[in-house]
Amino acid sequence: MTKEKLIEITEKDLVHTYQRFPLILDRGEGVYLYDSEGKRYLDFAAGIGVMGLGYGNEKLNQAIKKQVDKLTHTSNLFYNTPAAEAAEKVLKSSRMDRIFFTNSGAEAIEGALKAARRVYYNRTNSAGGEIIAMENSFHGRTMGALSVTGKEAYRAPFEPLIGGVRFAVYNDLESVKALVNGKTCAILLETVQGEGGIIPAEPAFLEGLRKLCDEKGILLILDEIQCGMGRTGEMFAWQGIGVRPDLMTVAKALGCGVPVGAFLMTEEVAKESLTVGDHGTTYGGNPLVTAAVSAVFHIYEEEHILEHVRKMGELLWEALERIKGKYNFITAHRGRGLMQGLEFTESPAYAIQKSHEEGLILISAGHNVIRFLPPLILQEEHIKEMEEKLSRALAAFSG
């Protein structure tokens, strides 16, 4: 089938909710992707932060293949070994106490919201717990996750969404305090805003939120779906600041290509929140996906991924600083570890297109930011290659 025919079928048959790039990606190897015509691309998007271990990791592949031959699904009406092993590893790494496996990040957000409202219900014997979320945030496309996503354009066509949600200004503690009332049950934010433009939470902001939540009996929910799983050089971004949440969501690189997410909570929250019959999932936590999760944590530890990310993150920062210094249409550079962004004076869509032509996969964040989310296994040579390809693309952009 020709490239043109496959694109035609996709556009005709699939619901048109994505503006796809005209590339048919066929296979991957390490930090590279290959299209259907054999062209090689250096991948600095990692499937939107999913492919932490890159493509074709043999240890991960073998763990998945082994489980496929053994057992893929049972339902949560029974116990299974991979789920128990994966839960133990995730909780040890996250320093949380309880976990619920989901199929996606959006479902993890849904579960965390339900847990928070259940705590409020148990404490007050009444419904109506309210959530404070952040402007410019992104938490997913399902109805609950959309309700706490701080972009009105995303929400407006689907109103009415779940009620009792108000939006504060990210990194502005006083704006949060101004919204707190007797019904506030949780404050939700991304530890590093991803879709909003790669904006890290300031340590003082997180510390202030933790203090506020402790004083008012409010739950702090941190969304680590994009910034977690080693992306910032810590397994979870909040660990670099030291502000432990009451609830946390994770997905994307949790399975490094296998669709799995989770929401985690402290024992204190677990005692007051979801109980038998309150929540469920058919596929979540099945033996196949949790075998992948368990393998991911084993590989991270065995290959010292976190230390590697910290080192490569510094080199990426230096490379992007050099690029920023060359062009006056790049106005800001921010991020942590291997989650960084360059802000432009206008849409960088043309620069991204030219990067693709150069054999470099990049994606945007917000309306004027290019984000850099490479596989966590990249090496110094790949950062140099990215710098060369992006520099050529930007030279064309500026011309």
pLDDT tens, N- to C-terminus, the chain (399 residues): 788 888 888 998 999 988 889 999 999 999 999 999 999 999 999 999 999 999 999 999 999 999 999 999 999 999 999 999 999 999 999 999 999 999 999 999 999 999 999 999 999 999 999 999 999 999 999 999 999 999 999 999 999 999 999 999 999 999 999 999 999 999 999 999 999 999 999 999 999 999 999 999 999 999 999 999 999 999 999 999 999 999 999 999 999 999 999 999 999 999 999 999 999 999 999 999 999 999 999 999 999 999 999 999 999 999 999 999 999 999 999 999 999 999 999 999 999 999 999 999 999 998 999 999 999 999 999 999 999 999 999 997 665
Please name the helix (run of DSSP H) or strand (run of DSSP E) that holds residue 164, with its range, or none.
none
Is 65 inside a domain boundary?
A: no
Pinpoint the alpha helices (H) of the chain. 3-13, 46-49, 58-70, 81-94, 105-124, 143-147, 152-155, 173-177, 203-216, 267-272, 287-302, 305-326, 349-357, 380-398
Half-sphere exposure of 184 (CA within 13 A, CB side): 25
For residue 66, being part of any structural domain is answered with: no
pLDDT score, position 144: 97
113 with 247, same domain: the answer is yes
Q: Which residue in 346, 353, 349 sits closest to 327, CA to CA?
A: 346
* Cβ–Cβ under 8 Å, residues 373 and 192: no
Domain presence at residue 64: no
Peptide bond into 245 cis (omega under 30): no
CATH number of residue 203's parent domain: 3.40.640.10
Whether 235 is covered by a domain: the verdict is yes
H-run or E-run covering 142: none
Residue 398: the pLDDT is 63
Query: Is 343 in the same domain as 272?
Result: no
pLDDT, residue 109, reads 98
Q: Which pairs count as long-range contacts for 44-48, CB under 8 Å and 24+ apart, including other chains?
A: 44/360, 44/361, 44/362, 44/372, 44/373, 44/374, 44/386, 45/361, 45/362, 45/363, 45/371, 45/373, 45/374, 46/253, 46/373, 46/374, 46/375, 47/257, 48/226, 48/252, 48/363, 48/373
Domain final residue, candidates 255, 278, 302? 302
* Same domain for 325 and 290: no
Contacts of 398 (CB under 8 A, 6+ apart): 327, 329
Tally of domains in the chain: 2
Co-location of 239 and 315 in the same domain? no
The Cα-based distances of 60 to 66, 221, 232, 288, 298 in angstroms read 10, 30, 22, 12, 9
- Is 355 in contact with 362 (CB distance < 8 Å)? yes
Torsions phi, psi for 191 (to 5 deg):
-65, -35
278 in the same domain as 347: no
pTM equals 0.96
Structure tokens at 360: 């470099």
Give the closest residue to 224 by CA, choosing from 208, 203, 244, 204. 244
Q: Are residues 8 and 116 in the same domain?
A: no
Cα 194 to its chain centre, rounded Å, is 7
CATH number of the domain encompassing residue 11: 3.90.1150.10
**What is the per-residue pLDDT for 2?**
85
**Beta carbons of 284 and 75 less than 8 angstroms apart:** no
Q: Which of 260, 275, 302 is the last residue of a domain?
A: 302
**Residues 148 and 19 reside in one and the same domain:** no
Asked whether residue 224 is assigned to any structural domain, the reply reads: yes
Q: What type of residue is 335?
A: G
Q: Strands 25-29 and 32-35: what pairing?
A: antiparallel
Co-location of 269 and 331 in the same domain: no
Give the three-class secondary structure for 22: coil
Question: Do 275 and 327 sit in the same domain of this protein?
Answer: no
Residue 62 lies inside a defined structural domain of this protein: no
Q: By CB neighbour count within 10 A (0-12 exposed, 13-18 middle, 19+ buried), where does 272 fall?
A: middle
> 128 and 248 in contact (C-beta within 8 Å)?
no
* Structural domain containing residue 10: 3-57+304-398
**Do 141 and 225 reside in the same domain of the chain?**
yes
Domain end position, chosen among 285, 302, 319: 302
367, 320: one domain: yes
Residue 178 falls inside a structural domain: yes
Do 94 and 176 lie in one domain? The reply is yes
